[in-house]
A and B are shown apart, each in its own frame.
Chain A
Amino acid sequence: MSPNLVYVVVIGVLFGAGVSLLLERTLTRVLIGVVLIGNGVNVLILMGGAYGTPPIIGEAPVEGMSDPLPQAMILTAIVITLGITAFLLALAYRSWQLLGHDEVQDDAEDTRIIELAERDEIPHAKESETEDLPSPVYDAGPGWAER
């Protein structure tokens, strides 16, 4: 098949815009990014099937029909994206409800380890041998002759 350049450009822009939003910290923006990329993927799948008349038998000759299989795939993808969009929106709302914003926070525990790394320390919950160890080589204890 020969690629359709309009599709190629649309895919590129939808992915590009979507990805740049995806990398944001605001969940709403991330969500919009997801929606845009989702559309981009759909066009990408569409491009994998032939262009033509609607694939409905009896309304047009079979030879010139568009490929129905990518369409079914896209339909599945569209509907799944709908469900996920709803879920992400609920997540954004809940985040706002709890925190007053819908920014994605960094992980606290990871941040703690990053700080340990910056201070050149070792994990705090670990055992060191510093306390109450028998020191195997005793240098204390005077030699007998000294007594």
Chain B
Amino acid sequence: MSFLVPLPVIIPALGAALTLMMARRPGAQRAVSLTALTTTLVVSSALLVVTAAEGPQVVAVGGWPPPLGIILVADKLAALMLVVSTAVTLCVLVYSIGQGSADGDEETPLSVYHPTYLALTAGVTNAFLSGDLFNLYVGFEILLVASYVLLTLGSTENRIRAGTTYVVVSLLSSVIFLSALGLVYAATGTLNMAQLAGRFDELPDNLRLLLQGMLLLAFGIKAAVFPLGAWLPDSYPTAPAPVTAVFAGLLTKVGVYAIIRTETLLFPDGRIADVLMVISLLTMVVGILGAVAQSDIKRLLSFTLISHIGYMLFGVALASEAGLSGAIFYIAHHITIQTTLFLAAGLVERRGGTTALDRLGGLGRIAPLLSVLFFIPALNLAGIPPFSGFLGKLGLLQAGVDESGPLVWAVVAGGVLTSLLTLYAIGRVWNLAFWRAPHPDLPRADDDSEGSTVLLPKLMVAPTFALVAFSVALTVVAGPLFGITSEAAADLLARTPYIEAVFPDGAP
């Protein structure tokens, strides 16, 4: 079944090519995009089933056996990430189509949007599947350049400013990553990750630590960990709602994925566990306090996004099966929930005309469905049971308690505090935007059903609803899902399933 492995990259890439060629036929573009992403989702799901049953699937691109050529590897972790990310991407696509139709396609140049969006997807899937460090860089570049374009769509003043910050910071991270790659090749003579796993062991300790640090730095910027992530809240919120949503859901998680992959496969000795622990604590606490200070929903959500990256990092730092499993589960949860919240924030922006808290109010009464679509993911984000955020946090806390040690306890305390402050921040949004008496500036469409469909188009509400349902479904299927994440974590820690899948006859 390994022929499935390249498809999640190939299909969106072909879609990008086709949609660019049919730039003047929006209907055809939409059809191609939807087909491409739906097919990708189906393929990804099939891959998950296959990898869960048969172990990692490896494809040697061009038939060049590893370590010569590039390999694509779909293990449980990658397959799970693929499924969650494509599901989310598909929902956001529908949402953006809904937004486009409602706005008469005036706001965003669709001829740019579809090809770029599909390229972004291809970049993300490529990053998840790549078994080659340089190809991982290429995957990052695809998704980054696509994100530059999406962030500056419409090229308004705000987006240019935000885009500049985002682009330049991302460029720096790319430079650091590329330098690290140059150094890695210089020191080891290979780029194949499974082979690197062995060759790193032969390097002097200090050099290996240096390479590890460089890679972590590059991925840390993308994952927006403290103190490298301050660019994020300045850039994400200015983009169109679906773009922010998909960025928030996916891009930072690709960084986290890369951290997990490299830390477990290439640097399994856990020498910097304490450093990671401290970073995760700071990321959580500084991030959530940032959220508390905000008075705009999108910015506030951006800070919660950063903050909760800390949870995932905590799981990585623990480097135990339970910790990694919790981290992976948390990624799946967080991709879904953060996207959902940004989509809901987009709906708030449409209905209320703004996302500034001091100019909102009364949405709970005026738009009951919207309030449900915000309230459930908001609770989920704050880790209120029985939602997936709680289960992910529970997994991580259990792993932390198992480990003990003063630093771990500090992070556990920080995690709990972060959870509470998330509730505080998000509760304030609810209190002010949904509960307060309606603001006088609110667009009037209270009882006019026709008016409210324009303000909240069905094609935007439906995918948001679908994502809320998806996030709730994560709770229901948490048992099997944790089954997969535990196995994925065990495989990551053991390293052999990955390496043996790449080199069945032993690493060269």
Contact = CB atoms under 8 A, between A and B. Distances in A.
Q: Are A and B close enough to touch in the complex, i.e. CB under 8 Å?
A: yes
Interface of A: 1, 22, 27, 30, 34, 37-38, 41, 44-45, 47-49, 69-70, 73, 76-77, 80, 83-84, 87-88, 91, 94-95, 98-99, 104-105, 107, 109-110, 113, 116, 123-127
Interface string B356-390: 11100000000000000000000000000000000
B293 A123 contact: yes
Given A27-B164, A94-B155, A110-B234, A44 B179 contact: yes
8 contacts: A38-B175, A45-B178, A87-B167, A88-B167, A95-B164, A109-B296, A113-B294, A124-B358
A91 B299 contact: no
B163 A45 contact: no
B362 to A, nearest CB: 15
Nearest to A48: B186
B172 interface: yes
B178 A98 contact: no
Interface in B388-418: none
A86 to B, nearest CB: 11
A1 to B, nearest CB: 8
Interface in B223-258: 233-234
B157 A99 contact: yes
B123 to A, nearest CB: 12
B181 interface: yes
B164 A48 contact: no
A36 B134 CA distance: 21
A37 B175 contact: yes
Nearest to A73: B134
A76 B138 contact: yes
B145 A125 contact: no
A52 to B, nearest CB: 15
B430 to A, nearest CB: 11
Given A44-B179, A73-B185, A87-B145, 13 more contacts: A1-B186, A34-B171, A44-B186, A69-B191, A73-B182, A94-B152, A94-B160, A105-B161, A107-B162, A107-B234, A109-B294, A125-B357, A125-B428
A87 B168 contact: no
Contact of A123 (B149, B163, B292): B292
A1 B187 CA distance: 9
A44 B187 CA distance: 12
Contacts of A22: 168, 172
B209 interface: no
A91 B164 contact: yes
B60 interface: no
Contacts of A99: 157
A111 to B, nearest CB: 11
A95 B160 contact: yes
A27 B432 CA distance: 39
B225 to A, nearest CB: 19
Contacts of A49: 185-186
Contacts of A27: 164
Contact of A125 (B168, B172, B186, B295): B295
A37 B155 CA distance: 27
Contact of B185 (A34, A48, A76, A109): A48
Contacts of A69: 185, 191
B247 to A, nearest CB: 17
B475 interface: no
A123 B181 contact: no
A91 B183 contact: no
A47 B164 contact: no
Nearest to B161: A105
A41 B183 contact: no
A141 B299 CA distance: 47
A45 B181 CA distance: 8
Given A48-B185, A95-B164, A125-B432, A84 B358 contact: no
Contacts of B181: 45, 73
Contacts of B320: none
A41 B428 CA distance: 47
Interface in B294-340: 294-296, 299
A60 B175 CA distance: 34
Interface string B164-205: 110110011001001101110111000100000000000000
A45 B161 contact: no
Nearest to A126: B428
B189 to A, nearest CB: 8
